[in-house]
Amino acid sequence: MRIAISHSGFWVWCALMLPIAAVGHAAAQGYPEKPIRFIVPAPPGGGANIVARVIGQKLSDGWGQQVVVDNRGGAGGIIGTELAAKAEPDGYTLLLGLTANLSFAPSLFRNLPYDTTRDFAPVTLVGSTPYVLVVNPSIPVKSVKELIALARSRPGKLNFASTGNGAGNHLAGELFKNMTGVNLVHVPYKGGGQALTAVLSGEAQLIFGSMLSTLPHVKADKLRALAITGAKRSSAAPDVPTIAEAGVPGYDVTTWQGVLVPARTPKKIIARLHAEFVKILRMPDVRQRLSGEGFDLLGGTPGEFGKLIKADIEKWAKVVKQSGIRID
């Protein structure tokens, strides 16, 4: 069916649409004109919080507008992510997206209150990092093989802490259990800081911890590092083998963090945010602060980040199906 528009009707349509376009253009031109909220779907104390505060402070310094890091932990990152998905698409709400809440969650939760690819627009990939498997020094193991042997001799007696059900380090632990056949008890906490404190105190025996928050305790001999979860060793801990090297061939869990905004955010604002974040990620002091603890800074275009998210959703859907892991 064809719809005919008269000459006069066309100009009426233009008159109606021009103010809408002008508002969007003006918003992009004057942006930012007020404080920006940077939602981190995790409590303070973990690696995500460190990354957000380092780059958020630089964004504030560069633009002269306050960047408020808003920690919204709980439900494996779902609470904070849902909040960001429902925010106004005006560039004043940013999300630090994590592999767990964007790529793992679609396969782990049946009733996810957001759609990763529909409800968000990628800005840039910030970086990637493996976890580091660490134990409390009171546990008499110094290698992954010794941990597996101890766990088999004490089924259900060793606890591994995580930052919450469905979090990345929860999935890392479940994959480890599935590939080794050991019986470790999962103990979810409300965030990385609490989970790490539990292992430091001996309340839990081990954790697949964030490199940023865990390595300082390893260097202080408060925790013992057994292995890296990624496919290759980390330059921040070159003497620590990968889990695959240490006796579990094929094991590989590497996570990423990136900045996203609600879908329908104006493209000019996304472009401005992208340019600023890429500049921040190239700053020597930022690179030294984050890369020095095993966080590989990456950057990249919004399109490249979007492709990574979609590919990871497909990848982890297969892993979850094969392993039988399910949260609800």
pLDDT of residue 4: 46
Determine the Cα–Cα distance for residues 91 and 30; give it in Å rounded to an integer: 11
User: Residue 235 — pLDDT band, cuts 50, 70, 90?
Assistant: confident
Is residue 26's pLDDT more than 60?
no
User: Residue 30 — pLDDT band, cuts 50, 70, 90?
Assistant: confident
Q: Phi, psi (5° rounding) for residue 235?
A: -65, -20
* pLDDT single digits (tens) 173-230: 988 998 999 999 999 998 888 999 999 999 999 999 999 899 999 999 999 999 999 9
Are residues 77 and 164 in contact, defined by beta-carbon separation less than 8 angstroms? yes
Average pLDDT over residues 310-318: 90
Determine the Cα–Cα distance for residues 283 and 66; give it in Å rounded to an integer: 20
Report the chain's mean pLDDT, rounded to a whole number.
Answer: 89
Between residues 320 and 271, the one the model is more confident about = 271
Are residues 185 and 205 in contact, defined by beta-carbon separation less than 8 angstroms? no
Q: What sections of the chain are H helices per DSSP?
A: 7-30, 47-63, 78-85, 99, 105-108, 116-119, 144-153, 168-180, 192-201, 211-219, 267-281, 284-291, 302-323
* pLDDT single digits (tens) 79-124: 999 999 999 999 999 999 999 899 989 988 888 999 999 999 999 9
pLDDT of residue 28: 62
Domains detected in the chain = 11-129+256-323 (3.40.190.150), 130-228 (3.40.190.10)
Nearest CA to 280 out of 84, 103, 38, 86 is that of 38
User: Residue 292 — pLDDT band, cuts 50, 70, 90?
Assistant: confident
Q: Phi, psi (5° rounding) for residue 137?
A: -60, -15
Would you call 102 exposed, middle or buried from its count of C-beta atoms within 10 A (0-12, 13-18, 19+)? buried
Is residue 261's pLDDT more than 60?
yes
Is residue 16's pLDDT more than 80?
no
pLDDT of residue 22: 42
3-state class (DSSP) for residue 17: helix
3-state class (DSSP) for residue 296: strand
Is residue 273's pLDDT more than 90?
yes
pLDDT of residue 18: 52
Is residue 291's pLDDT more than 90?
no
Determine the Cα–Cα distance for residues 134 and 123; give it in Å rounded to an integer: 33
Is residue 29's pLDDT more than 80?
no
What is the share, in percent, of the chain residues with pLDDT greater than 90?
69
pLDDT of residue 259: 98
* pLDDT single digits (tens) 68-77: 999 998 777 8
User: Residue 3 — pLDDT band, cuts 50, 70, 90?
Assistant: very low
